[in-house]
Amino acid sequence: MITAATTLKVMPPSPFSPMLQKSPGTIEHKLLALVVTLIVIGVAMEAKCDIFMGNWVPDQSGPIYTNSSCLEIEHHQNCIKNGRPDSGYLYWRWRPRDCELPRFDSRRFLGMMRDKSWAFIGDSISRNHVQSLLCILSQVEEAVEMYHDEEYRSKRWHFPLHNFTLSVIWSPFLLKAEIFEDINGVSSSDIQLHLDQLDETLMKQFSRGLDYAVISGGKWFLKTAIYHENGTILGCHYCPGKNLTELGFDYAYRKALGLIFNFIIKAGQQQKTVVFFRTSTPDHFENGEWFSGGTCNRTIPFKDGEIEMKDVDKLMRNVELEEFNKAETRASDSGQSGVALKLKLLDTTRLSLLRPDGHPGLYRQFQPFAKDKNAQVQTDCLHWCLPGPIDSWNDLIMEMLERVRNN
């Protein structure tokens, strides 16, 4: 069973072995043996450390970039420019329980990515994430935008000094879907979701060859949708009055993850792609939802144990972990251990759960109360301020990359 923690591998012979065989019993021999033991223990503890379990701790050094030093911040996440009055949310960092998590090293990352390609595939949280990475990397090299789709949801950038290509691919369901929403999320018709077909854009990107990909699903599966399979309507999620079988969002989410993981396993026979599956991120709406007056006014993180996940988030997370474990088992059972090694779990759920203070909230739009102190504004308690807690997701990715290289 695969968990979020990295398991310890068999260590190669120590370079100190020949020295340890000499002059046993001497002080020098004993000191050297102690040093080697401490090194081995340190490596073992680091390898076993679950970087996804821990707490947020104060960090006066603050973010690597600012909203004025990065040009890639979407205006909905530019909380400082939009007038958010507090800044305490910027001065925390994620600390795993059993090890230190180094800050993201932009120069080293770009060096590792020379002549490589990376894609973030998912919904607007993936776009939020890629903008965070762009902002961090911009302190070393500015990316050049090479492409965007009509809605500016999918984009591609190039880092010319390192020949590194970074993309975000809009695929909120990972499946073929007909979506009838405007930019504000207002639907004119029910979503039509095909549970047996992956998104063509996603598959094309993989067929062109990727070195790394971060794939994620999540909140879009909570929307009203009609489910299709084998060319027929199978049922739906939340479609009262339609006289269709209510299958639940988890049914469709499980189907989607099973399909994408099977695709990755099959593609792994020819592809070199390292795939990070990012778990879903909980929202922090209190006293309602985004459409019913929900707010997120907290200004400090929760500590571990101070908050419980909502039932819907628990269900979503269970589906994710179960399907990820099944994929790992399928890859191993089919003799494709290399594929299993290239499929990584980026478990951002719990550390995100502890950050109710990191969202735009009322400040998803510019100076919302400048003209009317009692203005009714839409609140965003799902996406993340930039800079903000989402920057730590890149610290996790950097650490996972180092572990992949070391193994």
- Asked if 372 is an active-site residue, the reply is no
Q: In this structure, are residues 215 and 276 in contact, taking their beta carbons and an 8 Å threshold?
A: yes
* Beta pairing partners, 214: 120, 276
Which of 124, 138, 171, 216 is flagged as catalytic? Answer: 124
Residue with tokens 């190669």: 12
- By the 10 Å C-beta count (0-12 exposed, 13-18 middle, 19+ buried), 75 is classed as exposed
Coarse DSSP helix, strand, coil percentages of the chain, rounded to the nearest 5 percent: 35, 20, 45
Please spell the DSSP secondary structure of 259-295, one letter per residue: HHHHHHHHHTTT---EEEEEPP-----BSS-TTTT-B
Tokens describing residue 103: 């800050």
- Asked if 284 is an active-site residue, the reply is no
Which of 190, 347, 380, 391 is flagged as catalytic? Answer: 380
Which of 383, 391, 392, 395 is flagged as catalytic? Answer: 383
- Asked if 124 is an active-site residue, the reply is yes
How many residues appear in the chain? 407
**What's the rounded Cα separation, in Å, for the pair 302 and 279?**
19
Question: Would you please indicate which residues are annotated as catalytic (active-site) residues?
Answer: 124, 380, 383
